[in-house]
Amino acid sequence: MSAARKNPDAFAFQVMLGLCLIWGCQQVLIKTAAVDIAPVMQAALRNCIAAVLVGLMICWRGGWEQVGSTWRAGLVAGGLFGLEFLFIAEGLKLTSAAHMSVFLYTAPVFTALGLHFMLPSERLRLLQWLGILLAFGGIAVAFAGGLSFAEMDGRMLLGDAFGVLAGLAWGATTVVVRVSRLSEAPATLTLFYQLAVGFAGLLLIALVSGQVGEVTLTPLAVGSVLFQGIVVSFVSYLTWFWLLRKYLASNLAVFSFITPLFGVTFGVVLLGEPLSANFVLGALMVLLGVILVSAEPWVKQQLRKFVG
């Protein structure tokens, strides 16, 4: 019998802070290295590196025996994972890393909506519906570039829309995992499907679009791909899965929303990206809405403490 999951302690908080720091900097890193290597190629190569590492881990610890019953769902999940990073890669050409960091984290909202219709046990409750309304209201506010449509930046709006679509693809990936046989498969096998299929799809897109040739092997390009492949896609993802086995997922989710704050901070400090008042307000609405949706039990607990 597996041990009961517990509330996050000081150790879990420190690990989550490190993970959020890693996840928050990756959009900035992709955008910075884009001068030497196309974002789609960065995504493809990072997936390739991580897929090899995860595949070796499965060979060591086992898990391949479940391929026969999970490969169909694995292909779907992997295709959606690749689509997520395609939207991220193309979106970062048009919008800021700060904007992408926030819109990508609308994923839990789309996950909750999908599971609401797919699983009776995952019906949304009042606070969660309120969070969904708040999150989508925040997207609308963040999209508004000014008082009139003439003041809006069309390229940035399209990039922001790609960010939301990336969040949608991420949310859909989670739904596929939850409602299929992947929910009972080892986390390493699920991650391998996502990385391997995502790599194949992104490489094909890079070949067709000619982005394979947009590669210059500079220290920045190599460092970006290695960091994303080894640290982000391998070490951090497996650390996250390990935390989920030991601690309550709803409470960990609250900590994970520090990630967009790091992403926005890195974008402003390292890339000099401007922040408009409407984006800041919209981003805060999105993050609050996502917390209400994905950490509803924790929110209720805090409200009881406050009222009581």
Q: In which residue ranges of the chain is pLDDT below 70?
A: 1-5, 145-153, 250, 303, 306-308
Q: Is 3 contained in some domain?
A: no
Q: Is 5 contained in some domain?
A: no
Q: What is the extent of the structural domain holding 14?
A: 10-307
pLDDT at 299: 72
Q: Is 42 contained in some domain?
A: yes
Q: What is the per-residue pLDDT across 12-21, written as a single tens digit (0 to 9) for each?
A: 889 999 999 9
What is the 3 state secondary structure string of 115-171?
HHHHCHHHCCCHHHHHHHHHHHHHHHHHHCCCCCHHHCCHHHHHHHHHHHHHHHHHH
Q: What is the per-residue pLDDT across 54-86, written as a single tens digit (0 to 9) for each?
A: 999 999 998 899 999 999 999 999 999 999 999
pLDDT at 278: 86
Q: Is 24 contained in some domain?
A: yes
d(Cα 85, Cα 166) in Å, to the nearest integer? 7
Q: Is 4 contained in some domain?
A: no
Element (H, E) at 186: none
- Provide the domain count of the chain: 1
Phi, psi dihedral angles at 106 (to 5 degrees): -80, -5
Note whether 130 and 300 are within 8 A (CB): no
d(Cα 221, Cα 135) in Å, to the nearest integer? 35
Note whether 99 and 159 are within 8 A (CB): yes
pLDDT at 76: 97
| Residue among 87, 80, 109, 99 at smallest CA distance from 173 | 80
Q: Residue type for 173, please?
A: T
Q: Is 1 contained in some domain?
A: no
